[in-house]
Structure 1
Amino acid sequence: MKKKHGTVVRWDSEKAFGFIRCPDIPADVFFHLRDYSGAAKPAEGLRVMFQDIHVGGKGPRGLSVEPARNTIINAPSAPAPLPVETPLLPASRPASRSSSRWQKRREERPLWIGLSLIGFWLVLWLVGIGMGRFPWVVLTAVVLINLATFYMYWRDKDAAVQETRRVPEEHLHGLAVIGGWPGAWFAQNILRHKTVKQPFRSIYWGTVAVNTFALLAWMLWPVLR
């Protein structure tokens, strides 16, 4: 299917959706972040290519959305000579493999940090159970809390797409602080939800610190006492 061209006329970074205006389609085309692929983040005024479908009576929806490729213009056979005073700019060098490899490692760093924290958190639980500070049954409660947290993130993500009532952020932070922060971390990275809003991210990492330090303090309390 041949892709159409258009321009992003509206983008909501918090709800992760927007609309594309295309001269070939009478109505603006809805698209979601999960239907978008490209190095540059969606923004108003961005030229894009997409495939459109019509789902029921909800209007057109864009799929496989990506930034529009630059049009290549053939150079004339005999270019006009430049004036003597015009300086010639040096040709830009292509990005080296080392720089692209460094950029990839930089993007993967937050994932390794999150996974390392989750691994440390699980070790704390296992050590605490081995020391007799927690009963084994507490692991069942921890698993249920994290599954519930992941579900609430999915529900909030779906509500953002459907423009229905959202899950209050206080509920998401409450689940995280009582032990559901690993489930919230996986939901943020898998569903690509709540990853842009900086105040929310700051509070979330605060709940991670509170939960981890509280767990560590409870384990070490007999020794410290």
Structure 2
Amino acid sequence: MRRSGELVQWNNKGGYGFVRDDTGRDYYVHISKMTGVSRPRIGDTLSFETAVGRKGRLSAVDVTVTASIPAPQQTLRDIKQAQGNVSRYAVGLRTAAATMMTILILVAISTGHAPAWLALLYAAMGTASALLYRFDKLYAITGQYRVSETNLHVVDLCFGIIGGLAAQEVYRHKTVKPRFVATTWAIALAHTLGLAALAFGGFKMLFPGGY
């Protein structure tokens, strides 16, 4: 027998929650049992079949959203505003790091220690990284599937770090989680040291002829 109920709890990161039917009984619901591409929000009305899940827990299966609460209307201006738990000083360091790497790239090219295409590579990958952070921020707001942290780090590592740092500051995104922040700074440090060595001739033994 198909039932209808309201989603009363939802863990967006884990993809699970509880739906309460008209009798007040709660059913466990997992994202894998839902149809559609958008994740539900608390307050949505769901239609579902019932089943007994693991450990004898009542679960909802074949779940569809029949009525959704309106999504909060936010603009890019809204998501660029600083969050209360983000230090402006800490965020400002990202601009400083991105600026330093940009200067080192220009120095390396102007002194003949690096080819001009290096700047184009950083610019292209930086743009790609910034777009990924932007999409992930928007997905987080609308409750859609997120860009994985691994993908963000991989693009940053592959010469996208300048754009990634800039996007983190502009969108106030991914600036709090300790492990993510630590990995971001490790990538930034590696690129900064590499660019510094390149700018000041540290790689002359590898490229004795210069560019």
The TM-score, its normalising length taken from structure 1, stands at 0.51
The 5 Å alignment of 1:164-183 reads: 164-183=144-163
* Residues 1:218 and 2:198 aligned together: yes
The 5 Å alignment of 1:28-107 reads: 57-62=67-72, 107=87
Mapped partners of 2:131, 2:73: distance in 1: 25
- Please state whether the residue corresponding to 1:135 is helix, strand or coil: coil
Mapped partners of 1:150, 1:135: distance in 2: 24
Moved over 6 A (4+): 9-15
Residue 204 of structure 1, aligned match among 162, 184, 206: 184
Which residue matches 2:109?
129
- Please state whether the residue corresponding to 1:221 is helix, strand or coil: coil
Which residue matches 1:81?
none
- TM-superposed CA distance for 1:59, in Å, is 0.8
- TM-superposed CA distance for 1:14, in Å, is 7.2
Which residue matches 1:109?
89
- Please state whether the residue corresponding to 1:189 is helix, strand or coil: helix
State the one-letter code of the partner of 2:69: G
Mapped partners of 1:63, 1:29: distance in 2: 17
Mapped partners of 2:70, 2:90: distance in 1: 36
CA contact (8 A) 1:178 1:211 kept: no
Mapped partners of 1:14, 1:124: distance in 2: 39
Mapped partners of 1:62, 1:178: distance in 2: 35
Mapped partners of 1:159, 1:121: distance in 2: 29
The TM-score, its normalising length taken from structure 2, stands at 0.54
- TM-superposed CA distance for 1:133, in Å, is 1.9
CA spacing shift, 1:217–1:164, aligned 2, 3 Å: same
Instruction: Write out per-residue CA displacement over residues 74-115 of structure 1, whole angstroms, 9 at most, x where no aligned residue.
Output: xxxxxxxxxxxxxxxxxxxxxxxxxxxxxxxx9432244222
CA spacing shift, 1:107–1:12, aligned 2, 3 Å: farther
- TM-superposed CA distance for 1:165, in Å, is 3.1
Mapped partners of 1:221, 1:207: distance in 2: 19
Mapped partners of 1:63, 1:184: distance in 2: 25
Superposition RMSD in Å: 3.5
- TM-superposed CA distance for 1:199, in Å, is 0.8
CA spacing shift, 1:158–1:113, aligned 2, 3 Å: closer
CA contact (8 A) 1:29 1:62 kept: no
* Residues 1:119 and 2:129 aligned together: no
Unaligned runs of 5+ in 2: 1-7, 15-40, 45-66, 75-85, 207-211
* Residues 1:158 and 2:158 aligned together: no
- TM-superposed CA distance for 1:163, in Å, is 3.5
State the one-letter code of the partner of 2:202: W
Unaligned runs of 5+ in 1: 1-8, 16-26, 31-56, 65-105
CA contact (8 A) 1:129 1:136 kept: yes
* Residues 1:143 and 2:123 aligned together: yes
Mapped partners of 2:134, 2:180: distance in 1: 16
% of aligned pairs identical?
A: 24
